Structure 1
């Protein structure tokens, strides 16, 4: 084969490589442009959660001999879908109460639901924690809150969400929600020694926004 033929084949190979690179680059450009257009048109926004109220049926911190916390409460949680063109599927939702990042109740499952455009959904789960062991740090914090006359219990939700646009449904995304509930120590409760007990039932109107991560 002459050097002229070799040069011709090399030119053809370089042209083919350039065409492949241009094709791949063009494909990714179209994909990115499509994603940008969809985002610009739909403006997807994560749901907004609010804790409306909390009814406390039991809140009893034992003496230092056992260091356990018993808590029973019902909370009213609402979720709002702010999107005009996007629906939201909720699944595998669970709610529990925590104090200083320590879980103090069992996780309660919430029913799965679909939330249409601009719709609201309300859940009212019961949260139970019977004689849950608390750490020395948690015990110390509760004693300080007792002196201040109020305690902040965080109601947390975790689960999955999917977005729906027309007939298209996305994959599942993790959902994490944190709702602070400010509970006041009502008069007549037992605060003797190191124990804490709130007179129950006691209902607290909260209307507090929650942090949401998707």
Structure 2
């Protein structure tokens, strides 16, 4: 009489099922990583570049009780060096700070930046009777005697990247330009290169 087949134990079945599930998951992860790598090598994304080309101030007034009024004007250049990626800037917020204290704030009109493109943004940011600390006022007065002040310019942008018909989800670009030397005369300002994080 031939021997009877021993039925598989439930534990062995469960281990076999777990093995195949893990193998499928690892295969999908590998394929997904491969797709991302091929896409990255095809697109070859490059970092976006930002510089402040010009900075000036008008109607500058620092009162004896440490209140500042001024109109800051900036020309910001955005360079998209990518061959296959365009960028949708859906919102932009610009902050002018001195010693981490916000002096003024403004929004910039949304725009679309094509591939291999340089776009200039011009903005006037008004500080109106802004109360500042005694130590900041002392630093500002010391710089004013030199005919210029150093401020920090921050831009926070809500962006989406576009490749062909594909658009990415929203991301926040943080652009930091520091220090930006603003002349109190008509002297031409220095170009300031900015740091960017996405």
Instruction: Quickly name the TM-score band, shorter chain normalised.
Output: 0.7 to 0.9
Q: 1:47 to 1:35 in 2, by over 3 A?
A: same
Partner of 1:47: 48
Partner of 1:33: 34
Q: 1:149 to 1:74 in 2, by over 3 A?
A: closer
Answer yes or no: is 1:212 the counterpart of 2:196.
yes
Unaligned runs of 5+ in 1: 187-201
For residues 145-160 of structure 1, the aligned pairs below 5 Å read: 145-160=143-158
Give SS of 2:109's match: coil
Query: 1:8-27: per-residue Cα shift (whole Å, max 9, x none)?
Result: x4443332221111001111
Q: CA deviation at 1:148?
A: 4.4
The ranges of structure 1 where at least 4 consecutive aligned residues each deviate by more than 4 angstroms after the TM superposition are none
Q: 1:178 to 1:10 in 2, by over 3 A?
A: closer
Partner of 1:142: 140
Equivalenced residue count is 194
Partners in 1 of 2:135 and 2:56 — Cα distance? 26
Are 1:56 and 1:203, in contact at CA under 8 Å, matched by a contact in 2? no
Q: 1:13 to 1:178 in 2, by over 3 A?
A: closer
For residues 156-195 of structure 1, the aligned pairs below 5 Å read: 156-179=154-177, 180-186=179-185
Give SS of 1:125's match: strand
Partner of 2:7: 5
Are 2:87 and 2:114, in contact at CA under 8 Å, matched by a contact in 1? yes
Partners in 1 of 2:47 and 2:135 — Cα distance? 34
Unaligned runs of 5+ in 2: none
Partner of 2:22: 21
Partner of 1:69: 68
Are 1:53 and 1:203, in contact at CA under 8 Å, matched by a contact in 2? no
Richer in strand (by share): 2
Q: TM-score, normalised by structure 1?
A: 0.82
